Amino acid sequence: MAALPGISKSLAALVIIPLALSACEQPDPADAGAANPATNANGLLFPAGCELGKDCWIARYVDHGQNGRAQDYLCGEQSQTGHKGTDIAIADMGRMEAGVSVLATADGKVLRIRDGIRDISVRRNGAASNDGQECGNGIMIEHSNGDRSQYCHVKNGSIRVASGDSVKAGAKIAEIGLSGETEFPHLHYTLYRDGDVIDPFDGSKMNDRCDAGGPLLWANDLPYEALTLFDLRVGTKAPSREKIWQAGTKTLESSSPAMVITARAMFTRNGDSWHMQIRNPKGKIAADQKVILDDDKQFYYHFIGIKRPAGGFMPGIWTGELTARRGDDTVKKIKVEFRTE
């Protein structure tokens, strides 16, 4: 639930590329990450009303690292030292304002809630302002087997339950927010058993070794991805780090000063390559750039853009694309369509 460490500044520069460029190679289709079909009939329901990989993403797992090195349950690096839960992130503040449900993972009784903390990025108000309330607005539910579920960073004023209430599995209890120690809208979910943090992906305790191979506690397996790519954000100017979680747009004026596509990711690696392109409504490549990432980053973003040409942007449906490669593999390819009018 902590803030994100710094990202590379050197690459965060707007690249202006002339409209007329020759056609470019077509990247290979993205590798499809097949989900393990494992299920657990009595398992925990997914705690957010969104579709993983489409409009929400796992941003961090429970830390199983030893000696201060963060490791997720599969011994990957998608965690943060001391991270006690599973972070489920949504695209931006626009989605947050529209409302993404926080759902009870199992039947239970509400032990306590905290509400009234504003949805403000820790980048704006500083970590010290969250002392003692890093979770922000939160809910603690005790289940019939004694396990407890904690939900953090929920939206101010969105909590629908009170202490002592009984809740059913899947019931909406709040909405995802930005309260407490966070700079991006997400739900931090922690499962406790006898006071220990338990990883719902394999039933092991936090700081137990990774790859323990224990039982899935979720009702349905959730696909693991080595790189978390958020959806591509469309805007009219280069976004600052502070603005990166503000809502983008799907419609640009043809007179907009620029067209900018921003890619955002968690857990990039030194040597990853990102190929970004913008295509005009005729399918021609209007901007094209490849970058090689120069360090392991917990959070990274990069953008590509086009300045308004004389006469404005061509009206119609434009496309932004990112192909992310690691080694020789295409890790992921994502696309966004937007209208210019």
CB of 134 to Zn ion, least distance (A): 9
Considering only 85-93, 267-275, 280-288, 332-340, which stretch makes contact with Zn ion by CB under 5 A?
85-93
Task: List the one residue from 1, 174, 197, 260 that touches Zn ion (CB under 5 A).
Answer: 1
Q: Which is nearer to Zn ion, 87 or 225 (CB)?
A: 87
Q: Are 137 and 174 in contact (CB under 8 A)?
A: yes
CB of 229 to Zn ion, least distance (A): 19
Distance CA(246)–CA(173), nearest Å, equals 24
Question: Residue 93 corresponds to which tokens in the numbers above?
Answer: 């503040």
Q: Which is nearer to Zn ion, 298 or 323 (CB)?
A: 298
Residues 234-263 that bind Zn ion (CB under 5 A): none
Q: Which is nearer to Zn ion, 1 or 266 (CB)?
A: 1
Considering only 83-91, 124-132, 223-231, 316-324, which stretch makes contact with Zn ion by CB under 5 A?
83-91
Task: List the one residue from 72, 87, 134, 208 that touches Zn ion (CB under 5 A).
Answer: 87
* Cβ neighbours for 249, distance < 8 A, ≥ 6 positions apart: 234, 235, 236, 338
How many Cα atoms sit within 13 Å of 307 on the Cβ side?
Answer: 7
CB of 152 to Zn ion, least distance (A): 7
CB of 89 to Zn ion, least distance (A): 10
Q: Are 163 and 108 in contact (CB under 8 A)?
A: no
Q: Are 226 and 267 in contact (CB under 8 A)?
A: yes
Question: Residue 95 corresponds to which tokens in the numbers above?
Answer: 């989605």
CB of 153 to Zn ion, least distance (A): 8
Total residues contacting Zn ion by CB under 5 A comes to 3
Query: DSSP string of 210-244?
Result: S-------BSB-----SSEEPPPEEESSPPPGGGT
CB of 179 to Zn ion, least distance (A): 13
For tokens 């979720």, what's the residue?
218
Q: Which is nearer to Zn ion, 151 or 318 (CB)?
A: 151
User: How would you classify residue 267: left for phi > 0, otherwise alpha for psi between -120 and 50, otherwise beta?
Assistant: left
For tokens 């927010």, what's the residue?
177
Query: DSSP string of 230-284?
Result: PPPEEESSPPPGGGTTS---SEE-TT-SEEEEEEEEEEE-TT-EEEEEEE-TTS-
Residues 159-198 that bind Zn ion (CB under 5 A): 188
CB of 79 to Zn ion, least distance (A): 9
Q: Which is nearer to Zn ion, 189 or 301 (CB)?
A: 189
CB of 80 to Zn ion, least distance (A): 8
Distance CA(330)–CA(27), nearest Å, equals 8
Phi and psi at residue 274, to the nearest 5°: -120, 125
Q: Which is nearer to Zn ion, 87 or 208 (CB)?
A: 87
Q: Which is nearer to Zn ion, 1 or 229 (CB)?
A: 1
Q: Which is nearer to Zn ion, 87 or 175 (CB)?
A: 87
- x/- track of binding to Zn ion for residues 36-75 (CB under 5 A): ----------------------------------------
Judged by CB under 5 A, does residue 153 bind Zn ion?
no
Judged by the rule CB under 5 A, the positions of this chain that interact with Zn ion are 1, 87, 188
